[in-house]
Copies of this chain bind each other. A is one copy, B any other.
Amino acid sequence: MTPRTEVSERPAELADAIAATAAPARGTSPDAAEAGARDDALTVLQALADPVRWTVLDALAEQPRCVCDIQERVPVAGNLLSYHLKVLRDCGLVTTSRRGRWVDYSLAPDARGRMVASLPGAGGTP
C-alpha cells in the first residue's frame, strides 16, 4: 500500500505538503514564507467567494457604511449578516468603529492590496 502522504489535512497543513513537494527543501525560511502567503491568500479568497460578503465588500469599497445601511443592500437576516461581517473582520478585510448604537464598517486600508496579492501568479507582487 505504501501510503504516500496523509491526505486528511487542513488547508494550512496541505500548504506544507505542497511546499515540501514543490521545492527540494533547500534552506528553511523561504518555503515557509511562501506557504504562509498562500494560506493568507486562501483565507482572503474564501472570504471573497460568497455572494453576501462579496456584495458587502463591493458596497464598502464605495464608502464606509453602518450595518443597517449595509442591510438595505443585502437581503439577509441581521444575525446572518453579522456572521458574514465577522468572517470579514477575522481576516482583517474590514475595520469597525462604534458610533452611538450603530457600528460603522469600512474597508481596511490594505484590503485592496491583499485582495490583488491573493490571486495566484502574483508571486509576492513583484
Contacts and interface: CB of A to CB of B under 8 A. Distances in A.
A17 interface: yes
Interface string A36-73: 00100110011011111011011011100000000011
A49 B51 contact: no
A25 interface: no
Interface string A5-22: 101000100110110011
| Copies of this protein chain in the complex | 2
Nearest to A19: B55
A10 to B, nearest CB: 9
A74 interface: yes
Chain A binding surface SS class: helix
Contact of A22 (B5, B15, B73): B73
A51 B15 contact: yes
A60 B115 CA distance: 20
Given A45-B54, A55-B120, A58-B121, 6 more contacts: A7-B76, A21-B74, A21-B75, A62-B121, A115-B119, A115-B120
